Amino acid sequence: MRLIVLAAALSSGLAHAHAVDARPDAYAVAAWAVLAAAALGYGAAWRRGAALRARNAAAFGGGWTALALALLVTPDAPAPFALHMVQHELMMLAAPPLLILGRPFTALASLAPRPLVRGAAIPLRVPPLAAWGCHAAALWVWHVPRLFDAAAASPHLHALQHATFFASALLFWWTVFRRLRRGTAVFYILTTFMHTGALAALLTFAPAALYADTPLAEQQLGGLIMWVPAGFVMLVAGLVAFDRLLVERP
């Protein structure tokens, strides 16, 4: 219920912020509808007594809130480069792992037939190395200046950019959680920490602005956001994975 109230509050705030343009963005409307349906479904599963703990519900609520906050930055609302970096990190580093920790398929299993649950999980059955590669490719390709500027100017590309960021991050974190008891989880986290740090360093130390209408200082701040807070999350995830690996081995 609290998630639904939060959705209403965020939606009303978003509508007020864009009152000058009465035309709703179709992608934003669809995203808010999916978020609302997810909150209602998870709440219904909780009331039905699904095998969920309070910490699962708290994690799901945190991931849901991270996505809701990310949706506040829309294509028709020009925002500083650094704010877009915060938005992207919410989509890739905050929301996916928290939603997974919320055990959404356990919740879905209490509401839907087993074949439907299995069907919903099919997109996640990607080989681990492919999931890692998809996430890395999405991150680097969309930060190519020409593509990043094109996405900022087109609602369609902007929606595609965000969809690939979130979907590839879901695949990546799903792989990490599945491989926590194996050494490969440490490998995926460490290599992601390294290549995302390299991209962040490139943005931070570039001698000139790489993106249109982006001052160099703003780009540097965005690079630091990607480098320090995001790097800290990956570092913690790597330490957890390494600790689990040591615990599992005699």
- Give the pLDDT mean for 37-64: 95
What is the average pLDDT score of the chain?
Answer: 86
Domain around 219: 2-248
What is the rounded distance in angstroms from the CA atom of residue 24 to the CA atom of residue 75?
Answer: 12
Confidence tier at 44 by pLDDT (50, 70, 90)? very high
What is the rounded distance in angstroms from the CA atom of residue 55 to the CA atom of residue 120?
Answer: 23
Check residue 17 and give its pLDDT: 37
The model's pTM is 0.86
Q: By C-alpha distance, which of 235, 170, 237, 146 is closest to 197?
A: 235
201: its two tokens = 């360093």
Q: By C-alpha distance, which of 98, 96, 73, 199 is closest to 142?
A: 199
Q: How long is the chain? A: 250
At residue 243, does pLDDT exceed 80? Answer: yes
Number of folded domains that form the chain: 1
What is the rounded distance in angstroms from the CA atom of residue 181 to the CA atom of residue 249?
Answer: 9
Check residue 39 and give its pLDDT: 96
- Give the pLDDT mean for 36-42: 95
Render pLDDT for 104-156 as a digit per residue (tens, 0 to 9).
999 999 999 989 999 988 988 899 999 999 999 999 999 999 999 999 889 89
Check residue 183 and give its pLDDT: 73
Check residue 247 and give its pLDDT: 72
Render pLDDT for 144-178 as a digit per residue (tens, 0 to 9).
999 999 998 898 999 999 999 999 999 999 999 98
161: its two tokens = 């950019």
What's the 3-state SS for the chain? CHHHHHHHHHHHHHHHHCCCCCCCCHHHHHHHHHHHHHHHHHHHHHHCCCCCCHHHHHHHHHHHHHHHHHCCCCCCCCCCHHHHHHHHHHHHHHHHHHHHHCCHHHHHHCCCCHHHHHHHHHHHCCCHHHHHHHHHHHHHHHCCHHHHHHHHHCHHHHHHHHHHHHHHHHHHHHHHHHCCCCHHHHHHHHHHHHHHHHHHHHHHHCCCCCCCCCCHHHHHHHHHHHHHHHHHHHHHHHHHHHHHHHHHCC
Check residue 78 and give its pLDDT: 57
Rg (CA), the chain: 19
More confident residue, 150 or 76: 150
